[in-house]
Amino acid sequence: MAKTKVAVIFGGRSNEHDISLISASNVIRNIDRTKYEVIPIGITKKGRWYFYPGDVDGIQSGEWETNTDNVPAAILPDPLYRGIATVNGDEINIIKVDVVFPVLHGKYGEDGTIQGLLDMAGIPYVGCGCFASAACMDKNFTHKVLEYHGIRMAKSHAIRASELDHLDEFCELAEKDLGYPIFVKPCSSGSSVGVNKANNTEELKNAIKLAFTHDRKVIVEECIKGRELEVAVLGGAKPFASEPGEIISCNDFYDYDAKYVLGATSLKIPADIPPEVSSKIRETAILAFRAIGCFGLSRVDFFLSDKGEVILNEINTMPGFTNISMYPMLMDNFGIPYSELLDKLITLAFERTPK
C-alpha cells in the first residue's frame, strides 16, 4: 500500500519559532515510517517557506535554514492541486500531499490563519479548524465563548489600543472589580511573553503599556492563587481527556524563564489531586473543547484555587510536542505512546476532511 504523504510544517513567524523546531523534530523522529512519508516544510522567522530535503537534526538546531538544497515552496489555495508547489528557477513542481501536520505554535500557526489556507486548499490537516484556533488564540474571545457556556474563568476586562485615551477609567474599573494583584496579558500571545503581575496602579498602567507592545488588545484578570493543572484532550466528535498533570513552577508564576530558561520547573504526571477534582477538570476540559469547536487535539490549562475551585485558564490548540512537553507526556501516561498519538492525530485529520 502506498504511504500517506504528511507535510510537517515547522518554524513560523511567531515568537515560539524555536519551540516549533523542537516539537517538529520530535514529530518527525517518532512518526511511523512504514505508514507515512514525511515532507518537511520550514517557515523562517521572516515568513519564507521552503521544502527542506535535509535530515531531521538540522531542524532542531536551526541549521535547516541555510541548507543549499532548500527549495522555495508554497501551498496552492486551489483545491484542484491539493499540494505544495516548489519553485526551482523557472520550474514549478507540485508535491502532492495527503495531509498537513502544522507543528506551529502561536501567531500564523495556531491562530486560524494557516488552517484557513488549508481549508481553501482542501488539504486535511491535524488539529483544530480555523474558528476554534482563532478563538483560543485570543484570550478575550476564549473568555466570551466559554463563560457563555457556564465555564468558570478568572474575572477579566479587555482594552483595545484604540481605547488607550481611557486608560485611567479602565484601570479604575479593573481595580474596583478585580482587586490587586492583577494579571496583565497581551490577548494573543503565548509562552508568557508580555505577561505581568501588577500590584498597584502604576504597575498596572506600565504592564498594560508593555503588553500593548505585543498586541493591539490587552486583557487584565483577577489573580488566582492556587495550583496549575493541564489536561490533554484528543478526539473528534467524541473527545476524551487525559488525567491532569501539574506544573510546579520555579518562579512566582509560570513566566517565560520558568518555561524555557531556568529548567527548574517540574511536571507531575498525574497530578496528586483527589479523584473528584480530577473528574471535574476532565469534564470541564471536554465541555470547553466542544463549546469552542475544537477538533483533534488541545491542551486545556486550569487553576485549582486555594479555595478548591476549578478555573479554566486557556486552551492551547497546538501545544508543545517536545519529548518533555506536557501534552505527549499526559497521553503517554494515559497509555498512548508518542508514535501512536501521531497516528491517531493524522487519522482524525481524515475524519474531518476525507481524502
Ligand X SMILES: Nc1ncnc2c1ncn2[C@@H]1O[C@H](COP(=O)(O)OP(=O)(O)O)[C@@H](O)[C@H]1O
Residues near ligand X (CB under 6 A):
154, 183, 185, 189-192, 195, 221, 223-224, 228, 253-254, 301, 313-314
- For residue 316, the minimal CB distance to ligand X (Å) is 7
Shorter beta-carbon distance to ligand X: residue 129 or 190? 190
Least CB distance to ligand X at residue 301 (A): 6
Q: Which is nearer to ligand X, 101 or 303 (CB)?
A: 303
Buried b (16+ CB within 10 A) or exposed e, 286-310: bbbbebbebbbbbbbbbbbeeeeeb
Q: Which of 348, 343, 350 is nearest to 27 (CA)?
A: 343
Own/partner pairs, 334-340, CB within 8 angstroms, 24+ separation = 334/232, 334/242, 334/243, 336/234, 338/26, 338/30, 339/30, 339/31, 339/32
Q: What are phi and psi of 345, to 5 degrees?
A: -65, -40
**Shortest distance, position 153 Cβ to ligand X, whole Å:** 8
| C-alpha span between 83 and 237 (Å, rounded) | 27
Nearer to ligand X, 123 or 311 (CB): 311
Q: Which is nearer to ligand X, 81 or 256 (CB)?
A: 256
Q: How far is the CB of 282 from ligand X (least distance, A)?
A: 19
Residue 273 CB neighbour total at 10 angstroms: 18
- In the complex, residue closest to ligand X by CB: 254
| CB nearer to ligand X: pick between 187 and 345 | 187
The candidate with the shortest Cα–Cα distance to 19, out of 346, 343, 340, 318, is 318
Q: Which three cell numbers stand for residue 20?
A: 516549533
Q: Measured from the CB of residue 306, what is the shortest distance to ligand X in angstroms?
A: 11
